[in-house]
Amino acid sequence: MKLIKKILRTIKSDRLLLAGCIGICILLFIVVAAPLITEYDAKLFGPDALVAPGDPAHPLGTNHLGQDIWSMLIYGTRTSLMVAVVASFISALLGIIIGGIAGFFGGWADRIISELINVFLMIPTLFLVLLIVAMFGSSILNIMIVIGLTSWPSNAKLMRAQALSLRERTFVKSAQAMGENRRQILMKYIIPNGVFPVVANTTVGMANAILLEASLSFLGLGDPTVISWGQMVYDGKQYLTSAWWIAAFGGVAICLTLLIFYMTGDGLNHVLNPKHGKAGE
Amino acid sequence: MSEQKKKAYIDIQDVSVFYPVKGGKLFAQGEKPIVKAVNGISLQMEKGEVLGLIGESGCGKSTLGRILVRLEEPTRGDVLIDGVSTHELIRKDPKKFRRMVQIVFQNPFDTFTPRDTIEKIMMRPLKIHNIGKDDQERHKMCVESLEAGGLRPAEDILRRYPHELSGGQLQRISILRSMLLNPTFIIADEPVSMLDVSVRADIINMLLELSREKNASVVFISHDIALTRYISDRIAVMYLGRIVEYGTADQVVKNPQHPYTQALISNCASIDPDEESAAIDIQGEPPTPINPGPGCFFAERCPHATQECLKKYPEYRDLGDGHIAACMHIGK
Amino acid sequence: MSETVLSIDNLCVTYKNRQKKVYAVKNASFSIEKGDAVGIVGESGSGKSTLAMALLRLLPARTAEVTGKADFLGRDLLTVDDKALADLRWKELSVVFQKAMSSFSPVHRIGEQIEDIYRVHTPNAQKGEAKERAVELLKLVNLGDRVWRLYPHELSGGMLQRVAIAMSLLFNPRLLIMDEATTALDVVTQGQLLNEIKHMEETLDMTRIMITHDMSVVAASCNKVVVMYAGDIVEVGPVKKVLKTPAHPYTQGLLGSFPSLKGETHALRAIPGSIPDLSQQYNECIFAPRCPHATEACRKARPEPVQVGEGWSSRCVLCGGGKA
């Protein structure tokens, strides 16, 4: 109870974070309550194609196949959030473990991992993703895994820096003198005390994952069997002059969601900054 | 260093730590700069003895402490505990070594991971070393230990997080936790220098009492000479990685022989306002221990230095009753 | 007849935020004569640094409420306007902090930094005037003029602390406040510095406040001592008397916690208990819960300072009519 109160107070103390959190709550509500908000199945090809927005049955219009844009937006939220969560989870997990090992163990492990991070940071992620998707197919699962596998280096860099400074702290030395082995020190002392910057970075990573999925869809490499905002923009591209609404609403949804995640990330960064006092306990 | 080769309980044999200086000039010529943080320390300690290690910052006293608990590897030398090489022991049975040798750190506010409760923190060593048959028994051991250490109500303290406790309480917990493992060799690295004066005495007395109870040997590292004299049986004075003087606490503090010890003690302010401070002025400040020597390391600041001092590092001179000092001008 | 440099009267500092008030300094009153060296001793949370910060007007006005009077050469430090305050600082009243290392800019030479300060306060100074003055002062603290051309990272902590002291003396201030200025230094360096300060005083005729937690620093370098505990000034008096026959039980306890360097080793005794919560107001002697001599009278009202000797008072009811 005390913890929840403390978290609530921390969220309230930062306006960006508060706005971001409210936004995320709305998104989550949409994800859960999708069937209640809209009467159409987004995948249903309706009889009325290219209805302009403002129609009583289709407030945001329909696309060239007669799908309801509003329903597509709502169901697209599911796809986007799933991509965001799964991809950034993979990325955070990899980043924390790899970065933690590099920073804590040091020596040759650190040298190899640091070089690997540099290599990954040098390669343009989009091309790497394009290559892999082209090779292994573009199912949504593949896309999520690929995004996760290519975006861990920034997390690893953060975690490595944390581990480097944490391993000199007295409580780590004390654990060592107590007889903890190195694996336990990494898991019980370094990682729990060093994850916060990674957590903050991960929310920004989620925004990037959504954007990347949208980019892939826009390039025609998205999963054609799911509804996604990127897919909507891709589909609407050719009707841009005659039916602007197909692409426009998807684009707006992407922008708004990115904004929400960036605000949360910035707010978290601000609140979890050690200079900001003892937050996050 | 003493002649009598009686088997001492703790036998520190010629321990050194050298670090290469990182960076520096790209095409540096000649001898590579090496920091000789600890430079050939040999000491013997009896069971239950308290040895004070004093010196200024950068003299290598804390590094020596970390070597003794093997948080750092010595470049050279070994420490025998009861005739057993710790070098061997930590390879063969690291947990046994950890149970035997414990350390109390300077900063009690940073000794515990901030995310765990005191209960979790105190139970950890018991779990690692398989002491107590279940968590219930371990919990009981923690409660007993805290109560014996004057931390009451123990149940309440166990539920707290480190940031909710005062420095004095945390340092007590740190000592009590170390004692749960029944160590026979304890290193206390400036254990009270970050605490308020009025609580220091309690911590010191508790440390002394518990180690006496277990008949453990203690190395007490400090820059506070009055305090070190109070708690130690013997004192070793370090300067730039070497021991310059060693003897009983009173020998070293009341009758210092090495010019460095004399300067150190004469500059130490006393709380007695009538005590005349005839501070011996030594020039400059301790240089860094990069490639020191070949002469006496203290020679360039020493008021009595001669040409001879710059040639060779002086041998230890026996001044009787185990009091020794490394200065060639003593007794002349 | 000696002249009073600073006279503090009923000074209180209260920190406040939305949830609570913290009474950091309560009814502090004492005075400093010309040529005095006053040591303010206390443990963490005793309010000694807050007191100094209040005198220097360095506390944030939004969260700290300062009341009372601090008469410094006829002007009240607590109410004087900003411009007058700026004139007072450095010229009449200067301060040296514990971390001199971090009060220097790392990218400018020591000389440039001293010159800057000199020029701010004497806008029409001649070229070279600052250097002349500074080199003279650097000699006083045992530093050569070599230091003038060096960067802060080329000096050790002790040397930087010396530079900071020399800088604080640029304008011959009437009062110098040293806030834990020797705490971070090694024994030998601290000893040297204290000696240099004493020598300096003989030549410069200055008045000094020394804020420290270390009794031995006070014993070695001051003639008057102010002992603080939990925001209260519990004892004020001449160093030689207070340190030998302390009147207040807290001073007694504090002195009993210091081991003697060369004298008899007596068993060290700590003061039991811990500092009270300063967000409460107490209607009793604030030390009573930890005091070995506390009686009923102590718990009835907050004691007023009791005269013990000449220039020597103690905030303890037991001091008036014999000790317990």
Domains observed in chain C:
4-92+171-319 (3.40.50.300)
Tokens of C81: 């306007």
Which of A112, A133, A125, A134 is CA-nearest to residue A152?
A: A125
Chain B residues lying within 8 Å of C260, measured CB to CB: 226, 270-272
E strand segments, chain B: 10-20, 34-45, 50-54, 76-81, 84-85, 101-104, 185-189, 217-222, 234-239, 242-248, 317-318, 324-325
Cα Rg of chain B, angstroms:
21
Long-range contacts: A135-139, Cβ < 8 Å, 24+? A138/A216, A138/A221, A138/A222, A138/A223, A138/A224, A139/A223, A139/A225
Alpha carbons C43 and C254: distance in angstroms, whole number: 9
Please give the residue that has the higher pLDDT: either A33 or B99.
B99
| pLDDT at residue A175 tops 80 | yes
Which residues of chain B are within 8 Å of residue A175 when distances are taken between CB atoms?
Answer: 113, 124
* Binary contact (B95, A179; C-beta < 8 A): yes
What's the confidence (pLDDT) of residue B158?
A: 94
Tally of structural domains, chain A: 1
Nearest-neighbour CA in chain C from B284: distance (Å): 9
Q: What does the pLDDT read at residue A157? A: 93
CA atoms of A281 and A277, how far apart (whole Å):
10
Cβ contact (<8 Å) for B128 and A178?
Answer: yes
Alpha helices by DSSP H, listed for chain C, are 48-55, 82-88, 110-121, 129-140, 157-168, 187-204, 215-221, 239-244, 249-256, 296-300
Q: Is the dihedral of CA B189, B190, B196, B198 positive or negative?
A: positive
Contact at CB, B111 and A170, closer than 8 angstroms: yes
Hey, is B84 helix, strand or coil?
strand
Residues 6+ apart with CB under 8 A from C287: C229, C230, C232, C234, C248, C249, C250, C294, C316
Residue of chain C whose alpha carbon sits nearest to that of B200: C270
B205, C268 in Cβ contact below 8 A?
A: yes
Residue B22's pLDDT band, with cuts at 50, 70 and 90, is: low
- Boundaries of domain holding A150: 2-42+50-276
What DSSP designation does C127 have? Answer: T
Share of chain C above pLDDT 70, in %: 98
Question: Distance between CA atoms of C41 and C226, rounded to whole angstroms?
Answer: 6
For residue A177, which residues of chain B lie inside 8 Å, CB to CB?
69, 71, 98, 101-103
A partners (3+ CB pairs within 8 A) are B
Spatial separation of the C-alpha atoms in residues B191 and B224, rounded to whole Å: 11
What burial class does residue A22 get, using C-beta atoms within 10 Å of its C-beta: 0-12 exposed, 13-18 middle, 19+ buried?
A: middle
Contact B223, C239 (CB under 8 A): no
Longest dimension (CA), chain B: 69
Residue B178, token pair as written in the block = 């170390």
Closest CA to B188 of B200, B83, B199: B200
Q: A179 vs B174: CB contact, 8 Å cut-off?
A: no
Question: Could you tell me where the DSSP H helices lie in A140-195?
Answer: 140-166, 170-178, 182-184, 191-194
Put simply, whether A281 touches B (Cβ < 8 Å) is yes
Task: Tell me the shortest Cα–Cα distance from A89 to chain B, in angstroms.
Answer: 22
Contact between B49 and B233 under an 8 Å Cβ cutoff? The reply is yes
**How do beta strands B84-85 and B234-239 pair?**
unpaired
Best of B166, B271, B281 to disrupt the C interface (most C CBs within 10 Å) is B271
Question: Cβ–Cβ of B223/C254 closer than 8 Å?
Answer: no
Query: How far, in Å, CA of C324 to CA of C41, rounded?
Result: 24
Q: What is the mean pLDDT of chain A?
A: 86
The per-residue pLDDT for A281 is: 33
The verdict on A179 touching B (C-beta cutoff 8 Å) is: yes
Tokens of C153: 């990272």
Closest residue by Cα to residue B225 from C216, C253, C251, C40: C216
Cα separation of B241 and B297, whole Å?
9
Indicate if the alpha-carbon torsion angle B254, B257, B263, B264 is positive or negative.
negative
Q: Cβ contact (<8 Å) for B272 and C187?
A: no
Do residue B197 and residue C43 have CB atoms under 8 angstroms apart? yes
Distance CA B274, CA C70 (A): 32
Cβ contacts of A3 on chain B, cutoff 8 Å: none
What single string gives the DSSP state of each residue in C31-76? EEETT-EEEEE--TTSSHHHHHHHHTT-S-TTTEEEEEEEEETTEE
**Is the pair A, C in contact (3+ CB pairs within 8 Å)?**
no
* CB nearest to B230's CB, from C221, C254, C259: C259
In this complex, which of B168, B202, B271 lies closest to C258 when CB atoms are compared?
A: B271
Give the chain C residue whose CA is nearest to the CA of B264: C188
- Contact residues, chain C, for B282 at CB < 8 Å: 188
* Band of residue A255 on the pLDDT scale cut at 50, 70, 90: very high
| Sign, Cα dihedral of A82, A83, A85, A87 | positive
Which range is least confidently modeled, A48-57, A69-78, B59-68? A48-57
**A281 inside domain:** no
- Taking the CA atoms of B94, B95, B98 and B99 in sequence, report the sign of the dihedral they define: negative
Q: What is the DSSP letter of C319?
A: G
What is the rounded CA–CA span in Å between residue C145 and residue C137? 10
Query: Quick one: average pLDDT of C130-159?
Result: 83
Binary contact (B198, C253; C-beta < 8 A): yes
Question: What CATH number is given to the structural domain containing A26?
Answer: 1.10.3720.10
pLDDT of residue A190: 94
Q: Which residue of C185, C186, C214, C248 is the best one to mutate when testing the B interface, meaning the one whose CB has the most B CBs within 10 A?
A: C186
Lowest model confidence (mean pLDDT) among A262-271, B112-121, B275-284, C182-191 = B275-284
> According to the per-residue pLDDT averaged within each range, which of B18-27, B173-182, C2-11, C192-201 is highest?
B173-182
- B115 CB neighbours in chain A (<8 A) are 192-193, 281
Q: C92 pLDDT exceeds 60?
A: yes
Q: Which residues of B touch A (CB under 8 A)?
A: 66, 69, 71, 94-95, 98-99, 101-103, 105-107, 110-115, 124-125, 128-129, 161, 163, 174, 177
pLDDT value of residue B169? 92
Q: How many angstroms separate the CA atoms of A201 and A198, rounded? A: 5
pLDDT 10s digits, B38-63 = 989 999 999 999 999 998 888 889 99
DSSP letter string, B18-50: EEEPPS--TT--SSPPEEEEEEEEEEEE-TT-E
* One-letter-per-residue 3-state SS of B148-160: HCCCCCHHHHHCC
Sheet order of strands, C75-76 included: C21-33, C4-16, C64-72, C75-76
Contact B254 C255 (CB under 8 A): no
Residue A280: per-residue pLDDT: 37
Find the closest chain B residue to C144 by CA distance.
B284
% of chain B beyond a pLDDT of 90: 55
All domains of chain B in start order, with CATH? 10-21+32-114+161-255 (3.40.50.300)
Q: For position C136, what pLDDT does the model report? A: 84
Residue A106 belongs to a domain: yes
The total number of residues shown for chain B amounts to 332
**A123 lies in some domain:** yes
User: DSSP states of A196-258 as a string?
Assistant: HHHHHHHHHHHHHHHHHHHHHHHTT-S-TTS--HHHHHHHHGGGTTT-THHHHHHHHHHHHHH
Asked if C233 contacts C28 with a C-beta cutoff of 8 angstroms, the reply is yes
Would you say residue A70 lies in a domain?
yes
Q: How far is B104 from chain A (nearest CA, A)?
A: 8
Q: Please write the tens of the pLDDT for every residue from B240-274.
A: 899 999 999 999 998 999 999 998 888 887 777 77
Of B98, B107, B115, the CB nearest to A178: B98
Tokens in use for A53?
A: 């927005």
Distance from CA of C85 to the nearest CA of B (A): 34
Whether B273 sits inside 8 A of C219 (CB atoms) is yes
Which residue of C187, C244, C271 is in closest CB contact with B264?
C187
Which residues on adjacent β-strands are paired with residue C41? C212, C227
pLDDT band of residue A278 (cuts 50, 70, 90) is: very low
Q: Are B86 and B80 in contact (CB under 8 A)?
A: yes
% of chain B beyond a pLDDT of 70 = 92
Q: Residue C266 has what pLDDT?
A: 77
Q: Which residues of B touch C215 (CB under 8 A)?
A: 197, 271
Higher-scoring residue by pLDDT: C3, B218: B218
Shortest distance between the Cα of B266 and any Cα of chain A, in A, equals 33
The stretch C44-63 carries a mean pLDDT of: 87
Report the candidate in A149, A153, A152, A144 with the shortest Cα–Cα distance to residue A217. A144
Rounded to 5°, the CA angle A94-A184-A169 comes to: 90
Average pLDDT over residues C68-91: 86
Q: Do A281 and B161 touch (CB under 8 A)?
A: yes
Kindly give, in sequence order, each residue whose CB lies less than 8 Å from that of residue A236, ignoring residues fewer than 6 positions away.
Answer: A63, A243, A244, A245, A246, A247, A248, A250
In A, minimum Cα distance to B111 occurs at A171
Look at residue A254 and tell me if it is in a domain.
yes
ipTM of the predicted structure?
0.87
Q: What is the DSSP string of C227-274?
A: EEETTEEEEEEEHHHHHHS--SHHHHHHHHTSPPSSS------PPPS-
Q: How far is B305 from chain A (nearest CA, A)?
A: 40
Q: Which residue of A has its CA nearest to B97?
A: A179
- Residue B25's pLDDT band (cuts 50, 70, 90): low
Instruction: Note if the bond before B74 is cis, omega within 30 degrees.
Output: no
Contact A83, A140 (CB under 8 A): yes
Nearest to B253 among C253, C262, C269 (CB): C262
pLDDT of residue B3: 45
C-alpha–C-alpha distance, residues B44 and B259, integer Å: 24
Question: Out of C186, C260, C270, whose CB is closest to B226?
Answer: C260
Tell me the two tokens of residue A192: 């729990």
Report the chain B residue with the minimal C-alpha distance to residue A193.
B115
A187: contact with B, CB 8 A cutoff: no
C176 pLDDT higher than 60: yes
A88/C212 Cα distance (integer angstroms): 52
The packing angle between helices C157-168 and C110-121, to 10°, is 20
The residue with greater pLDDT, B30 or A250, is A250
- All chains having 3 or more CB pairs closer than 8 angstroms to chain B: A, C
The Cα B148–Cα B131 span in angstroms is 19
CB atoms within 10 A of CB C270: 20
Q: Find the CB nearest B129 among A170, A174, A179.
A: A179
Residue A96 domain flag: yes
Beta carbons of C261 and B229 less than 8 Å apart: yes
List the one residue out of B186, B235, B233 whose CA is nearest residue B206: B186
Q: What is the per-residue pLDDT for A214?
A: 87
Residues on chain B touching C269 (C-beta within 8 angstroms)? 201
- Give B103's contacts in chain A (Cβ within 8 Å): 174, 177
Which DSSP letter does residue B275 get?
Answer: S
Task: Give the gap in angstroms from C-alpha C201 to the nearest C-alpha of chain B.
Answer: 17
Would strands C224-229 and C37-41 be described as parallel, antiparallel, or unpaired? Answer: parallel
Q: pLDDT by residue (tens digit) across A106-160?
A: 889 999 999 999 998 888 888 888 888 888 888 888 889 988 988 899 999 999 9
Residue with tokens 């995640």: A261
Kindly list the strands in the beta sheet with C207-212, ordered across the sheet, starting from the edge strand earlier in the chain.
C93-96, C175-179, C207-212, C37-41, C224-229, C232-238, C312-314, C306-309
In this structure, chain C runs to a length of 324
